[in-house]
Amino acid sequence: MMNRVAAIQMVSTPDVEENIATARRLVADAAVAGATLVVLPEYWPIMGMRDTDKVIHAEQPGAGPIQDFMAQAAAEHGIWLIGGTLPLVSIDAAKVMNTTLVYSPDGNSVGRYDKIHLFGFQQGAESYDEARTIVAGTEVGSFEAPFGRVGLSVCYDLRFPELFRAMGECALIVVPAAFTYVTGLAHWEVLLRARAIENQCYVLASAQGGTHASGRRTYGHSMLIDPWGKVVDVLADGEGIVGGNIDQAFLDQVRGNLPALRHRRM
């Protein structure tokens, strides 16, 4: 049995309404092409001029235009919609939770993951410190789709393989991201392929991919990778869609031929 999945790639702007309109169009296109599960990238609703811009748009869980759109889109197209990340209110008024929400085909919110690992990077004039505006999550996230367990991760989480082991055996792991161009060029594909190979599952990465209004450049290269580590589909930059099938027979074949998950001793 096969289920088609898709990752949306965007070049999000500081305008939430504009980004929702873009996401609405691309999600509809993915659904028309047969996708039953669609993933949006990290920060898809807003890539502001400043890191603090997202705090202004933080929503309460269950209420707000960003969440309303996701629930409506999932129900309208009858798909599983994984909402990349959006800003939700946190215990600190000056910070947000960088949150992935999962919507079922009936439009209900059925899963949540708050990004655990917060990105920090310094190289010359390029500097990032997500801890200044984000409160880290604490709980591993996953949900059950018709084809198996789906593990939830976000961007910088990709560098911490122990998180993916803690998800248990997944058919699919999703990685919404806004990787910088510098780190993406060096590490993005090799890390994604490693997570697919070591967990013997599909990995679907949905990225920001271009130069944003703030001048920040994100790497793009949204892709679907199979359990053998092969890149099934990829989009280098610009907005668009990548996708393919979750082939349960092939997943079982890989795990049967090379039963590494059963060989674990730690």
CATH T-level fold of 2-258: Nitrilase/N-carbamoyl-D-aminoacid amidohydrolase (3.60.110)
| Residue 168, helix vs strand vs coil | coil
Catalytic residue among 54, 59, 115, 239: 115
**Whether 28 contacts 20, CB under 8 Å:** no
**Whether 241 contacts 7, CB under 8 Å:** yes
Look up the pTM and report it: 0.96
Strands of 153-207 (E only): list them. Answer: 172-177, 202-207
Catalytic residue among 54, 59, 95, 155: 155
d(CA 48, CA 68): 21
Residues in the chain: 266
pLDDT tens, residue by residue, 77-124 = 999 999 999 999 999 999 999 999 999 999 999 999 999 999 887 777
Residue type, 217: R
DSSP labels for 13-42? Answer: -S-HHHHHHHHHHHHHHHHHTT-SEEEPPT
- Our answer to whether residue 42 is catalytic in this structure is yes
d(CA 163, CA 92): 25
Q: List C-alpha distances in Å: 88 to 60, 75, 83.
A: 6, 22, 12
- Our answer to whether residue 201 is catalytic in this structure is no
pLDDT tens, residue by residue, 138-173 = 999 999 999 999 999 999 999 999 999 999 999 999
pLDDT tens, residue by residue, 19-60 = 999 999 999 999 999 999 999 999 999 999 998 999 999 999
Domain residue ranges in the chain: 2-258
